[in-house]
Chain A
Amino acid sequence: MSLLSIQNVVKRYQQHTALSGVSLEVPQGKIFGLLGPNGAGKTSLIRIINQITMPDEGQILLQGKPLKAEDVHRIGYLPEERGLYKKMKIGEQALYLARLKGLSRAEANKRIKIWFEKFELQPWWNKKVEELSKGMQQKVQFICAVLHEPELIILDEPFSGFDPINAEMLKQEILGMKNRGATIIFSTHRMESVEELCDHVALIDKSKVVLNGATRDIKKQFSTNTFRLGFDGILPTLPAGFDLISERAGHDWQEARIQLNNGSSNELLLQLLPHLKIHAFEEEVPSFNEIFIRTVKNAQA
């Protein structure tokens, strides 16, 4: 069941096309990674979902119905370009933004207190934004994006500006919101956080979707069936179906990379067991970093 259905969206600007026929399904209750190089069209798509701009063609359905103006209350948005009123006190600011998202003053106040406690911002309630550190400003901004408990949360580079401790806290919050049923669209260039968080990934390059699917499926798709072996002894000749890609003396033991063309990893192990002392044996799972680079480079070629 998809919460958000993006159908054939086209967005043109004067000189270039930002999105050409983009279709994506964002599954309910999952973290959806929206990846792509700079200028690929991610921000255009996010702005269209937020109804900041309108698509030239195509449509977007939220739970099966075309987006309406009131739907902005069901969406929370943390833009990449952060900004708050510099001269406004953070408490008032959060209150203002929450009320613009349709919360009553009393309800907004209550929730801000809870979030400020959680993020240790309570003592700064009456401080102006310009008096806070960058990290603290980021926290306020994040709170403002999720305060109205939206069903769909769009986070554009949420971790930038956070130290590792706060980044971890933020990650737990994001996972917590997912567990409570929220759907999260997560746009980032940090592939390690994609690995950690995303259930589903779409890669946009040059205004088109070039990769789209569940994280596990994509990894499988990009798997080269290569295994890394750490051993002591002399490597025997490999039977047909197994290709030795490389072999070298490692730090503690010998290392070899072997590709499986047919046959399973268990078979390979059985073949090797009598000859070698095995220290390590693992599949080389492609990282999203590699997948990203390979896909984008392929598209360019």
Chain B
Amino acid sequence: MSKVGIIIEREFMTRVKSKQFVIFTLLGPVLMSLMFIIPVLIAMYSEDNQKIWVADNSGIFVEQFKSEKGLTFIEIEGDGENYKDSARASENSGVLIIPADIDLYKPDGFAYFSNSPMGAAAKRTVERTLNQRVENLKLESSGLRQSYIDSLQADISLVTRKLTEAGGEVNSSTGAATGIGFAGAFIMYIFIFIYGMMVLRGVVEEKSSRVMEVIISSVKPFQMMLGKIIGIAAVGLFQFILWIILTFGIVTVASSFISKDQQKDLVKSRVEATTAGQPEVAVAMEEEAMGFNLMEELETVNLPFMIGMFLFYFLGGYLLYASLFAAIGSAVDNEADSQQILFPVTIPIIIAIIVAQMVIQNPGSSIAFWFSMIPLTSPIVMLVRLPFGVPVWEIVLSMSLLIGGFFATAWLAARIYRVGVLMYGKKVTLRELSKWIFYRG
């Protein structure tokens, strides 16, 4: 076994066997699954049905209110004042009082009384119902027939289809693309930091425990650095794969408890709640809301390709930053000292995350292009762009630049590392580091 192999083995085994690794690996998927499961559970069990007593003194609105799931309208006699006491005592009820004389051109005086704030959805429904009625009445008074008014309403929903290079076209789902791209970029950002810092801490540990000198009397500093970086990369990939498996496992098990019908019901009720009275919108929304049924929408994004790309850019980005982190670790005596010179290295990562948000707005812009080419930012920015579709040549160029970038930073880092690991008690500045690059021997 080569020396680098022996180092990789140690770096991998000591970390994988550690308690932190086991805990973090098990806890990660639980937290991630909860992100999927909790909203479902909340939707399922929040059966708080809101009751609204409608006291329509004008008599022109009351027929328009249609009860829906979670929201019940009850027509009441009288001016509504008599229901205020009931509303005060009840947790989920309120009185909607509509004044007797309504000037259609200046409608006001509508009021809702309850002991708790009105939900946003309920408020929207009530307001829409009132507005619609007023608009219709005005249109009618101008002499238009109701059937004509109905036919006036248009509802256009834009279907976004992406032209592929092969000449075909596929459904492109902007929502899913945005979500997946940004989630990927954010996970990347966190991973690069977690595992990059792991490399830094490992190097600092070797230096501060003085085991460094024993080891570099056996292996070249470059082999040592490489072994550590690759070993930790293996830890990262291993953890990532475990997370995917465990998360899917947990989500699958959990969703088997929630039956398919229940899921559909859930989606439907949500759709109805937001699109009351507009059937065509409801159909479109229902299609989109099926994204709730995660897999369907993911299919338009080519998941295996995305996972493959994620792994590549994770490895590339990690290797690039890890070598910089290793160089920094070698230059300082303890972790606290590293913060200061760590800052310039973290700036590109932070810029990348900021640019990523701009890229979501406009995935084809030249900012998106350039930042997905620069190796320091491409792992994050490219991931955001990928779900929207990126020409093959751009992907190939970006990947090649990333590989090239890794070799460049690794070379640079190795030059700093070999000097740094033997240097103690020296306050290190970036200027000092750049001098080390040109030391010989």
Contact = CB atoms under 8 A, between A and B. Distances in A.
A75 B217 contact: yes
Given A52-B422, A53-B441, A99-B6, A83 B217 contact: no
Q: Among B1, B10, B14, B211, find the residue whose CB has the most chain A CB atoms closer than 10 A.
A: B211
B209 interface: yes
A71 to B, nearest CB: 11
A81 B1 contact: no
Contact of B219 (A83, A100, A144): A100
A79 B213 contact: yes
A52 B441 contact: no
A47 B209 contact: no
A54 B211 CA distance: 20
Contact of A54 (B7, B215, B219, B440): B440
A204 to B, nearest CB: 19
B329 to A, nearest CB: 15
A186 B220 CA distance: 24
Q: Chain B: interface residue count, which band?
A: 20 to 34
B424 to A, nearest CB: 8
Nearest to A105: B1
A72 B422 contact: no
Contact of A101 (B210, B211, B216, B218): B218
Given A52-B422, A53-B422, A83 B10 contact: no
Contacts of A85: 14, 205-206, 209, 211
Given A85-B205, A88-B14, A96-B6, A52 B210 contact: no
A81 B425 CA distance: 14
A79 B209 CA distance: 13
B6 A52 contact: no
Contact of A100 (B209, B210, B215): B215
A54 B441 contact: yes
B260 interface: no
Given A47-B422, A54-B441, A100-B3, A83 B212 contact: yes
Given A54-B440, A85-B205, A88-B14, A100 B6 contact: yes
Contact of B218 (A47, A54, A100): A100
A83 B209 contact: yes
A149 to B, nearest CB: 15
B214 interface: yes
Contact of B214 (A47, A69, A79, A86): A79
A83 B333 CA distance: 14
Interface string B401-441: 00000000000000000000010000000000000000011
Contacts of A101: 218
A69 B220 contact: yes
Interface string A77-115: 101011111111000000011011100000000000000
Nearest to B227: A100
A155 to B, nearest CB: 13
Interface string B219-249: 1100000000000000000000000000000
Given A97-B215, A99-B1, A100-B219, A86 B209 contact: yes
Contacts of B422: 47, 52-53
B213 A52 contact: yes
B213 to A, nearest CB: 4
A50 interface: yes
A97 to B, nearest CB: 7
Contacts of A50: 217
A105 to B, nearest CB: 8
B426 to A, nearest CB: 11
Nearest to B419: A53
Given A53-B441, A55-B441, A100-B3, A83 B210 contact: yes
Nearest to B13: A92
B227 to A, nearest CB: 10
A284 interface: no
Q: Among B216, B218, B219, B441, find the residue whose CB has the most chain A CB atoms closer than 10 A.
A: B218
Contacts of A54: 440-441
Interface in B109-159: none
A79 B6 contact: no
A54 B440 CA distance: 8
A56 interface: yes
A55 B440 CA distance: 10
B10 A96 contact: yes
Contacts of B3: 100
A97 B441 contact: no
Interface in B179-223: 205-206, 209-220
A102 B422 CA distance: 23
Contacts of A47: 422
A158 B115 CA distance: 82
Contacts of A55: 441
A99 B215 CA distance: 11
Interface string A28-62: 00000000000000000001001111111000000
A87 B441 contact: no
Contacts of A144: 214
Nearest to B424: A81
B5 to A, nearest CB: 10
Interface in B328-379: none
A113 to B, nearest CB: 20
B438 to A, nearest CB: 12
Contacts of A83: 209-214
A265 to B, nearest CB: 48
A38 B211 CA distance: 22
Interface string B1-21: 101001100100010000000
A286 B10 CA distance: 51
B217 A77 contact: yes
Q: Across chains A and B, which 3 residue pairs bring their CB atoms closest together, nearest first?
A: A83-B210, A54-B441, A83-B211
19 contacts: A51-B217, A52-B216, A52-B422, A53-B422, A72-B218, A77-B217, A79-B217, A83-B209, A83-B211, A84-B211, A84-B214, A85-B206, A85-B209, A86-B209, A87-B14, A97-B215, A99-B6, A141-B214, A145-B214
Interface of B: 1, 3, 6-7, 10, 14, 205-206, 209-220, 422, 440-441
Given A53-B441, A69-B220, A79-B213, 14 more contacts: A55-B441, A56-B441, A72-B218, A77-B214, A82-B210, A83-B212, A84-B209, A85-B211, A86-B209, A88-B14, A96-B10, A97-B218, A100-B7, A144-B214
